[in-house]
Amino acid sequence: MDLLAKITRITTQKKSKSRYNIFLDQEQGEKYGFSVDEDILIQYQLRKGLELNESDINALIQKDNLQKSFTLGLNFLSYRMRSKKEMYDYLVKKEVDPDQIPVVIDRLENEGFLNDRDFAHALIRTRINTTSKGPLLLRKELIDKGVARTIADEAVGLFPYEEQYKKAEKWVAKKLKNDGRKSFKQQVQSIQQTLLQKGFNSEIIKDVLNDIDDNRNEDAEWEAVVHQGQKILAKQRKKTEGSELRHKVKAALYRKGFSFEHIERFLDEYTQEDHGW
């Protein structure tokens, strides 16, 4: 028969007011027995004079360890919402007993602290307001965080076409400003690549690029031809002259995406001296 231990004293821990030290006497004088969370203390009505056997004590310790793991999960959620996978990875990192992890996650779910659908919806709304990412990149982010694909697809549906277009258009303006010395064709290719990397779908990219083409600035394109052409001329004049020089410059400008019309105009205006005119 298990030797009974009587609770002789219960004290509050100095560093954590919600945890209590339980002191026991097994007919050998008072000794520290174990500690419990306030919830365990109340739930099991632990008090001075209560007698516990060894299996009672082991069960209380196990319950308390589970409560500590649950509290750990709650603290992790206090900064922001988390997915179930994020919670699982965190509890593993904190070396929580593997058998306790699913129990903790189930309790967090049942008490409304953990919900992948709510998490996914909240993340999408936050990203729409704080980042320039497109829907495909946001979907990938959700899946990487362990959210089911069906839930990720549903959440991305909160990102309306108008908002996507607005974000893509903002990137277009930035790229056009920074790449103003490149040909229009090169700028479009660069913009397309950037929007793909940012996670925008083909429909948005097509619509944005169509609007760029409608607003194409001929003066800016000519300035870009002159800028690029003069650099190529300066380099090629050290190596060749005459018709070969014109051919080299024409080929280089064509590779940079300029039209034959702009290239011929540039050659006519800037290579006259190479023909002795």
Name the residue among 239, 237, 231, 235 with its Cα closest to residue 258: 231
More confident residue, 91 or 181: 91
| Contact (CB, 8 A) for 124 and 140 | no
More confident residue, 44 or 254: 44
Q: What value does the mean pLDDT of the chain take?
A: 86
DSSP 54-102: HHHHHHHHHHHHHHHHHHHHHHHHTTS---HHHHHHHHHHTT--TTTHH
pLDDT of 277: 38
Q: Which residues, at least 6 apart from 71, have a Cβ–Cβ distance to it below 8 Å?
A: 37
Per-residue pLDDT tens for 20-32?
Answer: 999 999 878 899 9
Name the residue among 17, 111, 97, 6 with its Cα closest to residue 56: 6
148 conformational bin, left if phi > 0, alpha if psi -120 to 50, beta if neither: beta
Domain with residues 161-216, CATH architecture? Orthogonal Bundle (1.10)
pTM for the model stands at: 0.69
Tell me which H or E stretch contains 5: strand 5-12
5-110 folds as Arc Repressor Mutant, subunit A (1.10.10)
- The residue type at 195: L
The domain 116-156: what is its CATH number?
A: 1.10.10.10
pLDDT of 238: 77
Residue 98 confidence (pLDDT) above 50: yes
| 23-50 average pLDDT score | 92
Per-residue pLDDT tens for 156-185?
Answer: 999 999 999 989 888 887 777 765 567 777
The residue to which tokens 């904190």 are assigned = 94
